[in-house]
Amino acid sequence: MPTLTDLVTYCDQRTRRAAYKDAPGAFNGLQLANDGRVSKIGAAVDAGVVPFQKAVAAGIDFLIVHHGMYWDMPRPLTGPAYTRVATLLHANCALYSNHLPLDGHPELGNNALLARQLGLQPSRPFLVRDGEAIGNIAESRLTRAAIRRKLESLYPRVIAIEYGSAAPKAVAFCSGSGYSAVPELLASGVDTLITGELREDCFNRAQEEKLNLYLCGHYATEVHGVKALAAELSKKFKLPWEFIGTENPF
Ligand SMILES: [Zn+2]
């Protein structure tokens, strides 16, 4: 049986975890250990009491999440924070969190997988932070209408704000929150962004700067990376894996 250390080392190296600076509270990597043995891998987007309860009920003892437990830590382990940790500890379930590395990875990253869902190949970096690209740009021959149709077939809720070109030559991808990506579009030579969520003021910006903005859901655009990493681990270490979904509509 593979050990916890085997899995953590593989995830850290495969995602180049240490290369990304990330937010101070992200604490990418192993956030909670278990007794050292792993028999089933899980993948979820968010840390939370309910996903943790579902994971342990499914027999998972190594859970990968995109949004980990520590964004606003340190805080006392009381109330829901206690319940999160207690749920995992009592079930001997380790927690491994991986945020920006799993957005930017060229094969396992949310943005590479978003591009491939549209049949596009990422060709240049987008949203470079501390030397690492989080998003990507793909050349495209798809019309705007085709992009919208495809997204609407893949995602339950799509908001389409279409003031850019009807046949964009390139498309930018930024999973999750795309607010910081919008000001970088035109400078990157692209007028079309596929992202998870934006803020209200982006509508006027789209009109003024002639942009196409497609919002497919923060959660929905970030299921891909954790699933891809869990599936790869499952194959490599010959362990079962399961995605723990929630009804997060954002
Ligand atoms: Zn996110």
The dihedral built from the CA positions of residue 225, 130, 11 and 233, taken in this order, carries a sign that is positive
Output the CA 79–ligand 1 centroid distance in Å. 24
Domain layout of the chain by residue ranges: 4-98, 103-219
**pLDDT at 62 exceeding the cut of 80:** yes
* pTM of this structure: 0.95
Q: pLDDT tens digits for 106-156?
A: 999 999 999 999 999 999 999 999 999 999 999 999 999 999 999 999 999
Tokens of 166: 């009807």
The dihedral built from the CA positions of residue 176, 182, 188 and 194, taken in this order, carries a sign that is positive
Q: How far apart are the first and last CA of the chain?
A: 38
- pLDDT of amino acid 24: 82
Output the CA 174–ligand 1 centroid distance in Å. 10
**pLDDT at 66 exceeding the cut of 90:** yes
Shared fold status for 4-98 and 103-219:
yes
CATH 3.40.50.720 fits 103-219, yes or no: no
CATH number of the domain at 4-98, out of 3.40.1390.30, 3.40.50.1000, 3.30.70.20, 3.30.9.10? 3.40.1390.30
Output the CA 1–ligand 1 centroid distance in Å. 32
pLDDT bracket for residue 71 (50, 70, 90): confident
**pLDDT at 75 exceeding the cut of 90:** no
Output the CA 99–ligand 1 centroid distance in Å. 7
Characterize 130-152 residue by residue with b for buried, 16 or more Cβ atoms within 10 angstroms of its Cβ, and e for exposed. Answer: eebbbbbbbebebebeebbebbe
| DSSP assigned state of 184 | G
How many other C-beta atoms lie within 10 A of the C-beta of residue 80?
A: 10
Q: For the residues 67-73, what does the mean pLDDT come to?
A: 86
**pLDDT at 74 exceeding the cut of 80:** no
Output the CA 225–ligand 1 centroid distance in Å. 11
